[in-house]
Chains A and B, each alone.
Chain A
Amino acid sequence: MATEESASVMDDYEMLISTTDVALLKRAWRNEKAAPEILQFESSLVQRIKEQIELAEQNEEIFEANNIEPLTVSLYQMDLDRTQFLLRSYLRVRLQKIEKYLFYVLKTDEYLNRLSKQEQMFARRCTDDLGSHLDETVLAKLPDNYRSILKQSITSEEDDMVPAPRLDTFVICKAKQYLSGLDFEPEYSMEITEMERDLLTFVCYKFVKKPLENGKIDLV
């Protein structure tokens, strides 16, 4: 059947182009956008992409100097724009997540370690700014026992005012290969036992957290 053939041709192409850094970045961007919690920062990938963007920008100058056809130059520019869009969007989604779960990220080592150096700095400075702002405007005027940003009062046993990412959010994912029960956390063995390759699945994020971290599924 024509459609199936072309679909498998598409698959092969996808395999082929998935080796480029742009394809990897696109995947990281999609996963980051779809996941409720912040994922591991792709530091070496981002580094490579940045270098390629720099190179492309240098090339543009060379093109201009060498009177290369405007058509060719504009096509290179489009390629550059697309890559930059991906990179910016990826970094921006992460910053939004960090802002949203600021205090939670900072007090959870697992999350903090997923951030890049710059993101960690951003998180710390955000906290400092937000903290001093809240102190000046509200907290300093409250009785001593109620001055924490994280706790309702000093009698709270935990940081009970810190919103955490909702891991029971539903996401859409696709397995790159057949997944058996072994690929999932044993604690969810009642909920999920297998996943067919390429089948779109609506599923609770926490069930597929492990295969996502192992690179066996992609969020769509």
Chain B
Amino acid sequence: MANYYDIDGILMEEEFVPVVFQKAINGVNIDESTEKGCVEQGSKTELPFWLAHELHMRQAVSISVPTCFNQKTRLEIQADAACVDLRSRCPYFYEFGCKLAPLCDKSIGLLLSYAFQIRYKEVLHKAHTTAFAAASKFLMLLTKEETYLYEAAQSSMLAFKKWRMGGPRLQRASILGRKRKPAE
């Protein structure tokens, strides 16, 4: 982890993954309704990624593919990657996928590359051509990283336009009058 304090890295690790316990574990409960005080081998549950990962390294659980990388999502991405609502599936789709791929399903890597290659073009196109209000519907589909990309493209273009219209220094440029919703 390059940056311990990276908030997105932390939030990403909070995403839940389905796991199957490979060992019986005493002293913990995964099911509120029972009071067994232990977990049996073969029990299934969902755990945050950071915990599942640690348990996986100790060979206590196996990790299954979470719904955001399931067959249905794959088919949708193959059909029309740019229109898939990835945000509601997982706001950290790519980062989560990168972490998850070696642990449960290596083909996730290919899916990520494919989706990103198609979607980033759309992000660029929308950032440069569409007014913010018109793009807001599109923005709802984007993952966190895609949103950063969109903002990077858009703010660079805006800064350039501001400079171009600028005229004499320190004068209020007409383009500044345009309202832009604060990001997030």
Contacts and interface: CB of A to CB of B under 8 A. Distances in A.
A162 B2 contact: no
A174 B1 CA distance: 30
Interface string A148-170: 00001000000011111010000
A86 B95 CA distance: 39
Nearest to A152: B4
A161 B2 CA distance: 9
A163 B6 CA distance: 9
B70 interface: no
B14 to A, nearest CB: 17
Contacts of A164: 2-3
Nearest to A161: B4
A52 to B, nearest CB: 26
B2 A166 contact: yes
A interface secondary structure, majority = loop
Contacts of B2: 163-164, 166
A100 B4 CA distance: 13
A108 to B, nearest CB: 14
Contacts of A162: 4
Contacts of B4: 152, 160-163
Contacts of B1: 160
A161 B5 CA distance: 8
B149 to A, nearest CB: 13
Contacts of A166: 2-3
Interface in B83-101: none
Contacts of B5: 161, 163
B68 to A, nearest CB: 25
Interface string B1-38: 11111000000000000000000000000000000000
A42 B3 CA distance: 28
Nearest to A166: B2
The 3 closest A-B pairs by CB, nearest first: A163-B3, A161-B4, A166-B2
10 contacts: A160-B1, A161-B4, A162-B4, A163-B2, A163-B3, A163-B4, A163-B5, A164-B3, A166-B2, A166-B3
